[in-house]
């Protein structure tokens, strides 16, 4: 996607691309319209949009499981080498309230505006077919964690997918590698969370959540 000035076409920034998704429809926004809007940003921007309801502190309950399933499907397509994302017709008709998308875009603006100056196409070796397949595997793993009905398994994996979406959208191999590293750390953390869950049940996970919150509030 590009915008035109007096001299040449200038690629849209991520924040501008998200705004374009918001402007696609004045009422409800379908996933199909998002696919049409993302254009050459393909998997990256679509993953970014699907991860936003769970990745950001906005009231959007009920999206983690269906969007996690869709992101699993997208991750599989990346592993299989698809060049453009594909979703079933039923999924493409899924509607997001314009008010929700507006909150998603607004909530992401601050973060994107801070990091966009550091993002640029680089390390193309990690943005090709092999790199996309590795990212696809990590997307599948993070989406699986989002689907699990266990506390602590929604926000962080969704934010990791959000970061991977940024790297994919901008062909930034270095940023993508950083997101992949965070994904591996998340897998280690959530392996421990699952261990706690199966050994101590939901009460053990809730106790762990309280300890984590307590740690960060006292730092």
pLDDT single digits (tens) 149-205: 776 667 888 889 999 998 888 889 898 889 989 988 888 888 888 888 888 888 888
Angle (CA) 72-74-75 rounded to 5° is 65
Question: Contact 86/36 with Cβ under 8 angstroms?
Answer: no
Model confidence at 105: pLDDT above 50: yes
Q: Using CA atoms, how far apart are residues 107 and 27, in angstroms rounded to an integer?
A: 19
pTM given for the model: 0.80
Q: Residue range 120-129: average pLDDT?
A: 80
List, for residues 26-72, the tens digit of each pLDDT value: 666 788 877 776 666 678 888 988 888 888 766 556 678 888 999 99
Q: Residue range 142-153: average pLDDT?
A: 79
Single out the residue of 118, 102, 97, 113 nearest to residue 15, CA to CA: 113
Q: What is the pLDDT of residue 61?
A: 62
């Amino acid at each position: 996607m590009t915008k035109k000035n007096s001299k040449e076409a200038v690629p849209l920034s991520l924040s501008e691309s998200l705004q374009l998704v918001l402007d696609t429809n004045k009422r409800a926004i379908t996933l199909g319209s998002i696919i049409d809007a993302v254009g050459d940003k393909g998997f990256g921007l679509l993953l970014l949009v699907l991860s936003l309801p769970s990745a950001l502190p906005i009231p959007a309950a009920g999206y983690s499981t269906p969007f996690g399933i869709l992101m699993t499907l997208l991750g599989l397509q990346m592993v299989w080498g698809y060049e453009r994302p594909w979703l079933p017709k039923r999924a493409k008709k899924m509607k997001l309230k314009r008010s929700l998308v507006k909150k998603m875009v607004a909530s992401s603006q601050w973060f994107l505006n801070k990091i966009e100056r550091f993002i640029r196409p680089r390390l193309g070796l990690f943005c090709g077919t092999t790199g996309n397949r590795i990212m696809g595997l990590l997307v599948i793993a993070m989406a699986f964690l989002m689907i699990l009905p266990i506390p602590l398994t929604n926000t962080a994996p969704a934010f990791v997918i959000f970061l991977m979406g940024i790297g994919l959208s901008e062909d930034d191999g270095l940023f993508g590698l950083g997101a992949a590293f965070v994904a591996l750390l998340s897998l280690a953390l959530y392996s421990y969370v699952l261990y706690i869950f199966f050994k101590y049940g939901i009460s053990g996970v809730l106790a762990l959540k309280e300890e984590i919150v307590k740690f960060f509030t006292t730092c």
